[in-house]
A = this chain, B = another copy of it.
């Protein structure tokens, strides 16, 4: 069944992506504006499930890369990422059949729809993070053996860098350096794949999941927790569970090497009175401890909701005194294998704990 993504569906995906972004992933508002503008100009975009792809389909994910704070000041048109996509086509002498998000949280959940609208391409209903993560090797594509290169990094002035390496961590390292030189924001097309590789490595259905989360949140009003529970219950993720409720008493942030590191402390209220939670983050929420014991870590989703409005709060908007509810969502098996935990488990982010898989 073909699903068409118009401006209303983009609104839903962007809202749902704030839950899946686990506090990071860049401002979905920017991706939403760019995608809506492109769809208004070029028409709606077809969303295709990985199973609908032919095995030899040529799929190239597209994304914005760089500091989220910069992206609001320099609103892209989507053409910048089309440039990087077409650089890959030229390099591999093959026309792209579809694009795909590299992550389903934050700005990059909707950004590929701008590329797709401009180029008349479908978007694959899947991604490579199943949430948001900070770096380009944090991808199931990398974990399950797809080369990230040739990868093209482009900017709004028409400059491009085509990167080739056998090491996807080197791709991240080099592309990040280029992004900084391009002014802090760049547009990347990487992990060129066949349809078979998409089916074997991508996390399926995450665009639909984001859309369903957004649609239900939009009508849920103050009952966000129930809406999120309902949607996640029938997904390949686990049913969302409330990990903690309380009041923010401290927020520490520092920016290093283009990432935002820090933690937020929450004093318990209601059922959690007398306890306290600490959430550590690097762009995205990485781990949550209650009274010093980890109750959830990467790759499982840890999302902070406003306790009054139910809306997800990105790490950059966490403020002293805010009443919050912290929820956890179990991730699908493809994100929790030993190979996956090597790349994005707690140790890979420097958390001093083994992975405590959320159930549910």
Contact = CB atoms under 8 A, between A and B. Distances in A.
Interface of A: prevailing SS: mixed
A158 interface: yes
A164 B170 contact: no
Interface in A17-41: none
Nearest to A153: B161
Chain A interface residue count: which class?
20 to 34
A163 B160 contact: yes
Contact of A180 (B158, B165, B177): B177
A284 B180 CA distance: 27
A154 to B, nearest CB: 9
Interface of A: 87, 157-167, 170, 173-174, 176-178, 180-182
A164 B173 CA distance: 19
A181 to B, nearest CB: 4
Contact of A162 (B157, B158, B161, B165): B161
8 contacts: A87-B164, A157-B165, A157-B167, A159-B165, A160-B164, A162-B163, A174-B181, A178-B178
A157 B173 CA distance: 14
Among the interface residues A87, A170, A174, which one has the most CB atoms of the partner chain B within 10 A?
A174
Closest 5 CB pairs between A and B? A177-B181, A162-B162, A159-B165, A177-B177, A160-B164
